[in-house]
Structure 1
Amino acid sequence: MHLLQRDGRPCAPLTVGTDQDGAATLADLYAFGPGVTVRAMMNTSIDGAVAGADGTSGSLRNPDDSFVFGVLRALADVVLVGAATVRTEDYRRPLGRSDLRAPSRRPAGGAHPVLAIMSRSGELPTTVEADWPTLLVTPSAGAAGAARRSGLPASHVIVADSPADIVAALSSRGLRGIQLEGGPSALGRFAAAGALDELCLSTSHVTVGGPSPRLVDGPPHARSWSLRSLLVGEHATCSRYSRRPDERS
Protein backbone atom coordinates (compact mmCIF):
# COMPACT_ATOMS: atom_id res chain seq x y z
CA MET A 1 0.00 0.00 0.00
CA HIS A 2 1.03 3.64 -0.41
CA LEU A 3 0.57 6.28 2.28
CA LEU A 4 -0.37 9.56 0.58
CA GLN A 5 -1.65 11.66 3.48
CA ARG A 6 -0.91 11.71 7.21
CA ASP A 7 -1.77 14.06 10.07
CA GLY A 8 -4.24 15.84 7.79
CA ARG A 9 -1.67 16.83 5.18
CA PRO A 10 -0.40 15.32 1.92
CA CYS A 11 2.94 13.61 2.38
CA ALA A 12 5.67 12.20 0.16
CA PRO A 13 4.35 8.79 -0.95
CA LEU A 14 5.52 6.06 1.41
CA THR A 15 5.29 2.39 0.50
CA VAL A 16 3.87 0.35 3.38
CA GLY A 17 4.38 -3.41 3.20
CA THR A 18 2.16 -5.95 4.90
CA ASP A 19 5.06 -7.29 6.97
CA GLN A 20 5.86 -6.52 10.60
CA ASP A 21 7.54 -3.22 9.76
CA GLY A 22 4.54 -2.11 7.71
CA ALA A 23 2.17 -3.09 10.51
CA ALA A 24 4.23 -1.06 13.00
CA THR A 25 4.08 1.94 10.65
CA LEU A 26 0.29 1.73 10.52
CA ALA A 27 0.06 1.17 14.27
CA ASP A 28 1.89 4.47 14.78
CA LEU A 29 -0.32 6.16 12.19
CA TYR A 30 -3.56 4.97 13.78
CA ALA A 31 -2.47 5.11 17.43
CA PHE A 32 -5.13 6.33 19.86
CA GLY A 33 -4.38 9.68 21.42
CA PRO A 34 -4.96 10.72 25.04
CA GLY A 35 -8.45 10.65 26.43
CA VAL A 36 -11.37 8.60 25.12
CA THR A 37 -11.79 8.01 21.39
CA VAL A 38 -14.67 6.32 19.61
CA ARG A 39 -13.44 5.05 16.26
CA ALA A 40 -15.66 3.40 13.68
CA MET A 41 -14.21 0.88 11.23
CA MET A 42 -16.33 -0.07 8.24
CA ASN A 43 -15.86 -1.48 4.76
CA THR A 44 -17.77 -0.42 1.66
CA SER A 45 -17.69 -1.00 -2.07
CA ILE A 46 -17.06 1.75 -4.63
CA ASP A 47 -20.81 1.96 -5.22
CA GLY A 48 -21.55 2.39 -1.52
CA ALA A 49 -22.60 -1.10 -0.44
CA VAL A 50 -21.66 -2.28 3.05
CA ALA A 51 -22.39 -5.92 2.19
CA GLY A 52 -21.53 -8.10 -0.75
CA ALA A 53 -23.68 -10.56 -2.65
CA ASP A 54 -23.84 -12.94 0.32
CA GLY A 55 -25.27 -10.23 2.59
CA THR A 56 -22.14 -9.87 4.74
CA SER A 57 -19.27 -7.41 4.78
CA GLY A 58 -16.91 -10.37 4.75
CA SER A 59 -17.38 -10.78 1.01
CA LEU A 60 -15.98 -7.26 0.51
CA ARG A 61 -12.77 -8.21 2.32
CA ASN A 62 -9.46 -8.19 0.50
CA PRO A 63 -5.76 -8.28 1.46
CA ASP A 64 -5.47 -4.48 1.87
CA ASP A 65 -8.60 -4.18 3.98
CA SER A 66 -7.66 -7.18 6.11
CA PHE A 67 -4.18 -5.78 6.72
CA VAL A 68 -5.46 -2.43 8.01
CA PHE A 69 -8.31 -4.06 9.93
CA GLY A 70 -5.88 -6.39 11.70
CA VAL A 71 -3.78 -3.42 12.79
CA LEU A 72 -6.79 -1.48 14.09
CA ARG A 73 -8.06 -4.46 16.05
CA ALA A 74 -4.64 -4.72 17.71
CA LEU A 75 -4.99 -1.13 18.98
CA ALA A 76 -8.51 -1.21 20.44
CA ASP A 77 -9.39 -1.69 24.09
CA VAL A 78 -12.92 -2.73 23.21
CA VAL A 79 -14.78 -3.76 20.07
CA LEU A 80 -18.32 -2.36 20.29
CA VAL A 81 -20.83 -3.93 17.93
CA GLY A 82 -24.53 -4.65 17.52
CA ALA A 83 -25.79 -8.18 18.12
CA ALA A 84 -27.15 -8.49 14.57
CA THR A 85 -23.70 -7.77 13.15
CA VAL A 86 -22.13 -10.33 15.47
CA ARG A 87 -24.58 -12.94 14.20
CA THR A 88 -24.10 -12.06 10.54
CA GLU A 89 -20.34 -11.68 10.60
CA ASP A 90 -19.57 -14.60 12.95
CA TYR A 91 -17.41 -12.73 15.47
CA ARG A 92 -14.80 -14.88 17.19
CA ARG A 93 -11.79 -13.66 19.16
CA PRO A 94 -11.17 -10.18 17.67
CA LEU A 95 -7.46 -10.15 18.52
CA GLY A 96 -5.83 -8.19 15.73
CA ARG A 97 -2.33 -8.80 14.37
CA SER A 98 -0.23 -11.10 16.53
CA ASP A 99 2.97 -9.12 15.93
CA LEU A 100 1.40 -6.03 17.55
CA ARG A 101 0.15 -7.66 20.74
CA ALA A 102 3.34 -7.62 22.81
CA PRO A 103 4.06 -5.13 24.08
CA SER A 104 0.44 -4.04 24.03
CA ARG A 105 -0.37 -0.91 22.03
CA ARG A 106 -3.88 -0.67 23.48
CA PRO A 107 -4.47 2.41 25.69
CA ALA A 108 -5.55 0.18 28.59
CA GLY A 109 -2.61 -2.17 28.03
CA GLY A 110 -4.70 -5.31 27.60
CA ALA A 111 -3.60 -8.38 25.65
CA HIS A 112 -6.82 -8.43 23.64
CA PRO A 113 -9.95 -6.31 23.25
CA VAL A 114 -13.13 -6.73 25.23
CA LEU A 115 -16.16 -7.56 23.07
CA ALA A 116 -19.11 -5.28 23.95
CA ILE A 117 -22.36 -6.35 22.29
CA MET A 118 -25.32 -3.99 22.04
CA SER A 119 -28.61 -5.89 22.36
CA ARG A 120 -32.09 -5.05 23.57
CA SER A 121 -33.08 -8.68 24.04
CA GLY A 122 -29.87 -9.87 25.67
CA GLU A 123 -29.92 -12.97 23.50
CA LEU A 124 -26.26 -13.20 22.60
CA PRO A 125 -25.18 -14.92 19.37
CA THR A 126 -23.99 -18.51 19.73
CA THR A 127 -20.67 -17.55 18.15
CA VAL A 128 -19.67 -15.69 21.33
CA GLU A 129 -17.12 -17.81 23.15
CA ALA A 130 -17.55 -18.31 26.88
CA ASP A 131 -13.94 -17.58 27.78
CA TRP A 132 -13.74 -14.31 25.83
CA PRO A 133 -14.21 -11.10 27.89
CA THR A 134 -17.70 -10.05 26.83
CA LEU A 135 -20.02 -7.24 27.93
CA LEU A 136 -23.73 -6.84 27.25
CA VAL A 137 -24.80 -3.25 26.51
CA THR A 138 -28.57 -2.90 26.84
CA PRO A 139 -31.09 -0.06 27.40
CA SER A 140 -32.76 0.41 30.78
CA ALA A 141 -36.17 -0.65 29.48
CA GLY A 142 -36.15 -4.41 29.85
CA ALA A 143 -32.58 -4.49 31.17
CA ALA A 144 -33.30 -7.07 33.87
CA GLY A 145 -34.70 -9.57 31.37
CA ALA A 146 -31.92 -8.89 28.89
CA ALA A 147 -29.28 -9.45 31.54
CA ARG A 148 -30.91 -12.73 32.56
CA ARG A 149 -31.12 -14.00 28.99
CA SER A 150 -27.51 -13.12 28.28
CA GLY A 151 -26.26 -15.47 30.96
CA LEU A 152 -23.51 -12.99 31.83
CA PRO A 153 -22.68 -12.00 35.41
CA ALA A 154 -24.13 -8.68 36.55
CA SER A 155 -20.68 -7.10 36.45
CA HIS A 156 -20.59 -7.71 32.68
CA VAL A 157 -23.87 -5.91 31.96
CA ILE A 158 -23.91 -2.22 31.03
CA VAL A 159 -27.28 -0.47 31.18
CA ALA A 160 -27.14 2.58 28.92
CA ASP A 161 -29.78 4.48 26.97
CA SER A 162 -27.66 6.68 24.72
CA PRO A 163 -24.33 6.59 22.88
CA ALA A 164 -22.93 9.05 25.43
CA ASP A 165 -23.98 6.72 28.27
CA ILE A 166 -22.30 3.78 26.52
CA VAL A 167 -19.05 5.67 26.04
CA ALA A 168 -19.07 6.86 29.66
CA ALA A 169 -19.67 3.34 30.95
CA LEU A 170 -16.88 1.83 28.86
CA SER A 171 -14.40 4.56 29.73
CA SER A 172 -15.22 4.16 33.43
CA ARG A 173 -13.85 0.61 33.06
CA GLY A 174 -10.62 2.00 31.66
CA LEU A 175 -11.56 1.19 28.05
CA ARG A 176 -10.49 4.40 26.26
CA GLY A 177 -9.86 3.05 22.76
CA ILE A 178 -13.36 2.18 21.57
CA GLN A 179 -13.74 0.63 18.12
CA LEU A 180 -17.30 0.68 16.83
CA GLU A 181 -17.73 -1.95 14.12
CA GLY A 182 -21.38 -1.61 13.23
CA GLY A 183 -23.78 -2.15 11.93
CA PRO A 184 -24.90 0.90 9.97
CA SER A 185 -27.71 1.71 12.40
CA ALA A 186 -25.27 1.77 15.32
CA LEU A 187 -22.98 4.12 13.40
CA GLY A 188 -26.00 6.26 12.59
CA ARG A 189 -26.96 6.57 16.25
CA PHE A 190 -23.43 7.47 17.35
CA ALA A 191 -22.83 9.92 14.51
CA ALA A 192 -26.15 11.72 15.06
CA ALA A 193 -25.44 11.95 18.79
CA GLY A 194 -22.00 13.45 18.21
CA ALA A 195 -20.41 10.45 19.93
CA LEU A 196 -18.28 9.32 16.98
CA ASP A 197 -14.77 10.79 16.88
CA GLU A 198 -13.18 8.94 13.96
CA LEU A 199 -14.34 7.07 10.88
CA CYS A 200 -11.88 4.62 9.36
CA LEU A 201 -13.30 3.67 6.00
CA SER A 202 -12.01 0.91 3.73
CA THR A 203 -13.35 1.25 0.18
CA SER A 204 -12.90 -2.01 -1.68
CA HIS A 205 -12.21 -1.59 -5.38
CA VAL A 206 -15.35 -3.46 -6.45
CA THR A 207 -18.97 -2.74 -7.31
CA VAL A 208 -21.76 -5.04 -6.21
CA GLY A 209 -25.07 -3.37 -7.15
CA GLY A 210 -28.27 -4.49 -5.49
CA PRO A 211 -29.84 -3.13 -2.31
CA SER A 212 -27.62 -2.37 0.67
CA PRO A 213 -27.89 -0.21 3.79
CA ARG A 214 -26.00 3.06 3.87
CA LEU A 215 -22.71 3.14 5.71
CA VAL A 216 -24.27 5.44 8.32
CA ASP A 217 -27.97 4.68 8.58
CA GLY A 218 -29.66 6.76 11.25
CA PRO A 219 -31.30 10.06 12.18
CA PRO A 220 -30.55 13.03 9.91
CA HIS A 221 -27.57 15.09 11.02
CA ALA A 222 -24.92 17.38 9.55
CA ARG A 223 -21.35 17.05 10.82
CA SER A 224 -18.06 17.99 9.21
CA TRP A 225 -15.03 15.71 9.03
CA SER A 226 -11.34 16.13 8.22
CA LEU A 227 -9.34 13.61 6.20
CA ARG A 228 -6.48 12.62 8.51
CA SER A 229 -4.78 9.87 6.51
CA LEU A 230 -5.07 8.13 3.17
CA LEU A 231 -3.71 4.74 2.13
CA VAL A 232 -4.10 3.41 -1.39
CA GLY A 233 -3.57 -0.22 -2.27
CA GLU A 234 -4.25 -2.51 -5.18
CA HIS A 235 -7.50 -3.78 -3.68
CA ALA A 236 -8.74 -0.99 -1.40
CA THR A 237 -8.40 2.66 -0.43
CA CYS A 238 -8.31 3.23 3.32
CA SER A 239 -9.19 6.66 4.65
CA ARG A 240 -9.30 7.97 8.20
CA TYR A 241 -11.56 10.90 9.05
CA SER A 242 -11.79 12.79 12.31
CA ARG A 243 -14.62 14.99 13.44
CA ARG A 244 -13.71 18.67 13.19
CA PRO A 245 -12.97 20.29 16.59
CA ASP A 246 -15.87 22.73 16.22
CA GLU A 247 -18.22 19.77 15.72
CA ARG A 248 -17.28 18.01 18.96
CA SER A 249 -20.01 17.75 21.56
Structure 2
Amino acid sequence: MRRLFPSPLSPADLDDREWGLDELADFYAYPDAPPAQGGAWLRANMVSSLDGAAHHEGRSQPLSSDADMRIFGTLRGLADAVVVGAETVRQEGYRPARAREAFAARRAALGQGPAPVIAVVSAGLGLDFSLPLFTSPLVPTIVLTGAEAPADRVAEARAAGAEVVVAGEGRGVDPVLVPRALAERGLSRLLTEGGPRLLGQFAAAGVLDEMCLSLAPVMAAGSAPRIAAGPPLEVPERFALGSVLEENGFLFTRYIRHQRL
Protein backbone atom coordinates (compact mmCIF):
# COMPACT_ATOMS: atom_id res chain seq x y z
CA MET A 1 0.00 0.00 0.00
CA ARG A 2 1.30 3.45 -0.92
CA ARG A 3 0.25 6.88 0.33
CA LEU A 4 -0.40 9.17 -2.64
CA PHE A 5 -2.21 12.06 -0.92
CA PRO A 6 -1.56 14.06 1.20
CA SER A 7 1.88 14.30 -0.32
CA PRO A 8 4.23 11.63 1.00
CA LEU A 9 6.09 12.76 4.11
CA SER A 10 9.09 10.61 3.29
CA PRO A 11 10.26 8.24 0.53
CA ALA A 12 9.04 5.36 2.73
CA ASP A 13 5.45 6.50 2.20
CA LEU A 14 5.79 5.51 -1.45
CA ASP A 15 6.98 2.01 -0.61
CA ASP A 16 4.47 -0.65 -1.62
CA ARG A 17 4.06 -2.45 1.72
CA GLU A 18 1.25 -3.76 3.90
CA TRP A 19 0.14 -1.21 6.47
CA GLY A 20 -0.45 -2.47 10.00
CA LEU A 21 -3.82 -1.99 11.69
CA ASP A 22 -2.41 0.59 14.12
CA GLU A 23 -1.07 2.62 11.21
CA LEU A 24 -4.41 2.44 9.40
CA ALA A 25 -6.27 3.35 12.60
CA ASP A 26 -4.13 6.47 13.07
CA PHE A 27 -4.64 7.40 9.42
CA TYR A 28 -8.44 7.03 9.57
CA ALA A 29 -8.97 8.37 13.10
CA TYR A 30 -12.17 10.35 13.68
CA PRO A 31 -11.90 14.06 14.53
CA ASP A 32 -10.89 14.62 18.16
CA ALA A 33 -14.29 16.15 18.99
CA PRO A 34 -17.58 15.55 17.17
CA PRO A 35 -19.16 18.57 15.48
CA ALA A 36 -21.59 20.62 17.53
CA GLN A 37 -24.36 20.20 14.95
CA GLY A 38 -26.02 16.91 15.79
CA GLY A 39 -23.14 15.85 18.03
CA ALA A 40 -21.97 13.11 15.63
CA TRP A 41 -19.61 12.53 12.70
CA LEU A 42 -21.13 10.36 9.97
CA ARG A 43 -18.65 8.57 7.74
CA ALA A 44 -19.60 6.30 4.82
CA ASN A 45 -17.55 3.42 3.46
CA MET A 46 -18.42 2.06 0.03
CA VAL A 47 -16.73 0.27 -2.86
CA SER A 48 -17.32 0.92 -6.55
CA SER A 49 -16.16 -0.61 -9.81
CA LEU A 50 -14.58 1.58 -12.50
CA ASP A 51 -17.96 1.79 -14.23
CA GLY A 52 -19.79 2.85 -11.07
CA ALA A 53 -21.34 -0.43 -9.89
CA ALA A 54 -21.93 -0.60 -6.13
CA HIS A 55 -21.99 -4.41 -6.16
CA HIS A 56 -21.89 -7.44 -8.45
CA GLU A 57 -24.91 -9.72 -8.43
CA GLY A 58 -26.13 -8.27 -5.13
CA ARG A 59 -22.90 -8.48 -3.14
CA SER A 60 -19.97 -6.10 -2.66
CA GLN A 61 -17.39 -8.85 -2.02
CA PRO A 62 -16.56 -9.42 -5.73
CA LEU A 63 -15.38 -5.80 -5.92
CA SER A 64 -13.26 -6.02 -2.78
CA SER A 65 -9.64 -6.96 -2.03
CA ASP A 66 -7.49 -7.87 0.96
CA ALA A 67 -6.51 -4.21 1.43
CA ASP A 68 -10.12 -3.12 1.12
CA MET A 69 -11.12 -5.60 3.82
CA ARG A 70 -8.32 -4.37 6.13
CA ILE A 71 -9.62 -0.82 5.75
CA PHE A 72 -13.21 -2.06 6.19
CA GLY A 73 -12.20 -3.74 9.47
CA THR A 74 -10.28 -0.68 10.62
CA LEU A 75 -13.19 1.67 10.01
CA ARG A 76 -15.44 -0.67 11.98
CA GLY A 77 -12.85 -0.88 14.74
CA LEU A 78 -12.92 2.91 15.12
CA ALA A 79 -16.71 3.39 15.06
CA ASP A 80 -19.18 3.65 17.92
CA ALA A 81 -21.96 2.43 15.64
CA VAL A 82 -22.33 0.97 12.15
CA VAL A 83 -25.50 2.29 10.47
CA VAL A 84 -26.94 0.09 7.75
CA GLY A 85 -30.15 -0.23 5.78
CA ALA A 86 -32.48 -3.21 6.16
CA GLU A 87 -32.02 -4.37 2.56
CA THR A 88 -28.24 -4.47 3.00
CA VAL A 89 -28.70 -6.52 6.18
CA ARG A 90 -30.74 -9.02 4.18
CA GLN A 91 -28.51 -9.07 1.07
CA GLU A 92 -25.14 -9.20 2.86
CA GLY A 93 -26.23 -11.51 5.70
CA TYR A 94 -25.12 -9.12 8.44
CA ARG A 95 -23.87 -10.61 11.68
CA PRO A 96 -23.04 -8.91 14.99
CA ALA A 97 -19.81 -6.90 15.09
CA ARG A 98 -17.07 -8.70 16.97
CA ALA A 99 -14.48 -7.44 19.43
CA ARG A 100 -11.00 -7.30 17.95
CA GLU A 101 -7.92 -7.36 20.13
CA ALA A 102 -6.11 -5.02 17.73
CA PHE A 103 -8.49 -2.19 18.62
CA ALA A 104 -9.24 -3.05 22.27
CA ALA A 105 -6.83 -0.59 23.92
CA ARG A 106 -7.75 2.21 21.52
CA ARG A 107 -11.48 1.70 22.13
CA ALA A 108 -11.04 1.50 25.90
CA ALA A 109 -9.06 4.76 25.92
CA LEU A 110 -11.91 6.49 24.08
CA GLY A 111 -14.58 5.04 26.38
CA GLN A 112 -16.04 2.87 23.61
CA GLY A 113 -17.62 -0.54 24.06
CA PRO A 114 -15.79 -3.69 22.99
CA ALA A 115 -17.38 -3.62 19.51
CA PRO A 116 -19.45 -1.16 17.51
CA VAL A 117 -23.23 -1.24 17.77
CA ILE A 118 -25.02 -2.30 14.57
CA ALA A 119 -27.84 0.18 13.94
CA VAL A 120 -30.35 -1.00 11.33
CA VAL A 121 -32.57 1.55 9.58
CA SER A 122 -35.95 0.07 8.68
CA ALA A 123 -39.43 1.50 8.13
CA GLY A 124 -41.45 -1.72 7.91
CA LEU A 125 -39.18 -3.85 10.16
CA GLY A 126 -39.24 -6.64 7.60
CA LEU A 127 -36.29 -8.33 9.28
CA ASP A 128 -35.62 -11.81 10.59
CA PHE A 129 -35.36 -11.17 14.32
CA SER A 130 -34.28 -14.75 14.99
CA LEU A 131 -30.85 -14.04 13.47
CA PRO A 132 -27.75 -13.70 15.69
CA LEU A 133 -27.57 -10.01 14.75
CA PHE A 134 -30.57 -9.48 17.04
CA THR A 135 -30.49 -12.42 19.46
CA SER A 136 -26.80 -12.70 20.39
CA PRO A 137 -24.76 -9.57 19.63
CA LEU A 138 -21.86 -8.57 21.86
CA VAL A 139 -23.62 -5.21 22.29
CA PRO A 140 -27.38 -4.85 21.67
CA THR A 141 -28.39 -4.10 18.10
CA ILE A 142 -30.36 -0.90 17.54
CA VAL A 143 -33.29 -0.74 15.13
CA LEU A 144 -34.12 2.78 13.93
CA THR A 145 -37.67 3.20 12.67
CA GLY A 146 -40.57 5.62 12.51
CA ALA A 147 -43.20 6.40 15.14
CA GLU A 148 -45.86 4.64 13.04
CA ALA A 149 -43.91 1.42 12.46
CA PRO A 150 -45.99 -1.78 12.79
CA ALA A 151 -46.53 -2.33 16.51
CA ASP A 152 -46.29 -6.12 16.27
CA ARG A 153 -42.92 -5.89 14.52
CA VAL A 154 -41.65 -3.40 17.11
CA ALA A 155 -42.66 -5.82 19.85
CA GLU A 156 -40.93 -8.70 18.06
CA ALA A 157 -37.73 -6.67 17.69
CA ARG A 158 -37.70 -5.84 21.39
CA ALA A 159 -38.47 -9.42 22.36
CA ALA A 160 -35.43 -10.53 20.36
CA GLY A 161 -33.24 -8.16 22.39
CA ALA A 162 -32.94 -5.22 20.00
CA GLU A 163 -33.28 -1.62 21.16
CA VAL A 164 -35.92 0.14 19.06
CA VAL A 165 -35.26 3.85 18.53
CA VAL A 166 -37.83 6.17 16.95
CA ALA A 167 -36.21 8.52 14.41
CA GLY A 168 -39.14 9.79 12.40
CA GLU A 169 -42.68 11.02 12.94
CA GLY A 170 -44.37 8.80 10.36
CA ARG A 171 -43.80 5.23 9.27
CA GLY A 172 -40.33 5.89 7.85
CA VAL A 173 -37.06 7.15 9.25
CA ASP A 174 -35.98 10.79 8.90
CA PRO A 175 -32.28 10.63 7.95
CA VAL A 176 -31.64 13.97 9.65
CA LEU A 177 -32.65 12.44 12.98
CA VAL A 178 -30.44 9.35 12.75
CA PRO A 179 -27.09 10.91 13.78
CA ARG A 180 -28.84 12.93 16.45
CA ALA A 181 -30.65 9.93 17.94
CA LEU A 182 -27.45 7.89 18.08
CA ALA A 183 -25.41 10.77 19.53
CA GLU A 184 -27.98 11.06 22.33
CA ARG A 185 -27.02 7.48 23.23
CA GLY A 186 -23.32 8.32 23.34
CA LEU A 187 -22.66 7.02 19.82
CA SER A 188 -21.01 9.92 18.01
CA ARG A 189 -18.47 8.17 15.74
CA LEU A 190 -20.76 6.78 13.07
CA LEU A 191 -20.02 4.61 10.05
CA THR A 192 -22.56 3.76 7.38
CA GLU A 193 -21.98 0.89 4.96
CA GLY A 194 -25.06 1.60 2.87
CA GLY A 195 -26.76 0.39 0.95
CA PRO A 196 -27.08 2.88 -1.88
CA ARG A 197 -30.59 4.01 -0.94
CA LEU A 198 -29.63 4.81 2.65
CA LEU A 199 -26.46 6.59 1.54
CA GLY A 200 -28.49 8.64 -0.92
CA GLN A 201 -30.87 9.64 1.87
CA PHE A 202 -28.02 10.74 4.13
CA ALA A 203 -26.44 12.75 1.30
CA ALA A 204 -29.74 14.42 0.39
CA ALA A 205 -30.35 15.30 4.06
CA GLY A 206 -26.94 16.99 4.33
CA VAL A 207 -25.73 14.84 7.24
CA LEU A 208 -22.94 12.89 5.51
CA ASP A 209 -19.64 14.29 6.78
CA GLU A 210 -17.11 11.97 5.17
CA MET A 211 -17.01 9.57 2.22
CA CYS A 212 -14.50 6.71 2.17
CA LEU A 213 -14.66 5.27 -1.34
CA SER A 214 -12.69 2.25 -2.53
CA LEU A 215 -12.34 2.30 -6.31
CA ALA A 216 -11.84 -1.24 -7.64
CA PRO A 217 -9.88 -1.64 -10.91
CA VAL A 218 -12.59 -3.80 -12.48
CA MET A 219 -15.51 -3.38 -14.86
CA ALA A 220 -18.79 -4.90 -13.69
CA ALA A 221 -21.43 -3.77 -16.24
CA GLY A 222 -24.85 -5.22 -15.47
CA SER A 223 -27.66 -3.32 -13.74
CA ALA A 224 -26.09 -2.70 -10.32
CA PRO A 225 -26.91 0.72 -8.81
CA ARG A 226 -24.44 3.46 -8.07
CA ILE A 227 -23.15 3.75 -4.49
CA ALA A 228 -25.91 6.31 -3.76
CA ALA A 229 -29.45 6.05 -5.08
CA GLY A 230 -32.59 8.16 -4.81
CA PRO A 231 -33.78 11.61 -5.89
CA PRO A 232 -31.02 13.98 -7.06
CA LEU A 233 -29.80 16.68 -4.71
CA GLU A 234 -31.12 20.12 -5.69
CA VAL A 235 -27.53 21.33 -5.70
CA PRO A 236 -24.69 18.77 -5.79
CA GLU A 237 -22.77 18.96 -2.53
CA ARG A 238 -19.03 19.58 -2.71
CA PHE A 239 -16.51 17.39 -0.89
CA ALA A 240 -12.77 17.99 -0.54
CA LEU A 241 -10.16 15.28 -1.08
CA GLY A 242 -8.74 14.17 2.26
CA SER A 243 -6.48 11.26 1.38
CA VAL A 244 -5.62 8.61 -1.22
CA LEU A 245 -3.95 5.23 -0.67
CA GLU A 246 -3.17 2.72 -3.44
CA GLU A 247 -2.56 -1.02 -3.54
CA ASN A 248 -2.60 -3.33 -6.57
CA GLY A 249 -4.54 -0.81 -8.63
CA PHE A 250 -7.21 -0.21 -5.95
CA LEU A 251 -7.58 3.42 -4.86
CA PHE A 252 -8.74 4.06 -1.30
CA THR A 253 -10.00 7.63 -1.19
CA ARG A 254 -11.44 9.80 1.55
CA TYR A 255 -13.46 12.98 1.00
CA ILE A 256 -14.66 15.49 3.62
CA ARG A 257 -17.75 17.63 3.19
CA HIS A 258 -16.72 21.25 2.66
CA GLN A 259 -18.93 22.51 5.49
CA ARG A 260 -17.00 20.30 7.92
CA LEU A 261 -13.58 21.73 6.98
Q: Which residue of 2 aligns with 1:217?
A: 229
Q: Cα gap change, 1:219/1:147 in structure 2, threshold over 3 Å: closer, same or farther?
A: same
Structure 1 position 91, deviation (Å): 1.2
Q: Residues 18 and 124 (structure 1 numbering): CA distance in 2 closer, same or farther, change over 3 Å?
A: farther
Question: Where do residues 77-226 of structure 1 align in structure 2 (5 Å cutoff)?
Answer: 77-95=80-98, 98-104=101-107, 107-125=110-128, 126=131, 128-132=133-137, 133-142=140-149, 144-152=151-159, 156-161=163-168, 162-221=174-233, 222-226=236-240
The answer for unaligned runs of 5 or more in structure 2 is 35-39, 169-173
Distance 1:96 1:228 in 2: 28
Identical pairs, percent: 37
Structure 1 residue 106 displacement after superposition: 8.1
Structure 2 vs 1, CA of residues 217 and 189 (structure 1 numbering), >3 Å: closer, same or farther?
A: same
Structure 2 CA distance, aligned partners of 1:166 and 1:57?
24
Report the residue type matching 1:101 in the other structure: A
CA distance in 2, matches of 1:204, 1:131: 34
Structure-2-length-normalised TM-score: 0.84
Deviation at 1:108, TM superposition (A): 4.4
Q: Give the match's secondary structure for 1:51.
A: coil
Structure 2 match to 1:242: 256
Residue type of the alignment partner of 1:131? S
What is the match of residue 11 of structure 1?
A: 8
Q: Please give the per-residue CA displacement for 1:107-143, whole angstroms capped at 9, x wherever unaligned.
A: 5422100011111122333352512120110012225
Give the Cα separation in 2 of the matches to 1:86 and 1:177: 20
Give 1:44's aligned residue: 48
**Normalising by the residue count of structure 1, what TM-score does the alignment of the two structures yield?**
0.88
Distance 2:119 2:150 in 1: 15
How far, CA to CA, are the matches of 1:105 and 1:186 in structure 2? 30
Higher-strand-fraction structure = 1
Residue identity matched to 2:253 = S
Coordinate RMSD, CA, aligned: 2.3
Query: Which residue identity does 1:148 align to in structure 2?
Result: A
- The structural deviation recorded for 1:67 is 1.2
Name the count of aligned residue pairs: 241
CA displacement, residues 144-173 of structure 1 (integer Å, 9 cap, x when unaligned):
343123244798111112122111110001
- Residues 196 and 117 (structure 1 numbering): CA distance in 2 closer, same or farther, change over 3 Å? same
Structure 1: tracts of 5 or more residues without a match: none
Alignment correspondent of 1:31: 29
Q: Give, in angstroms, the shift of residue 245 of structure 1.
A: 1.9
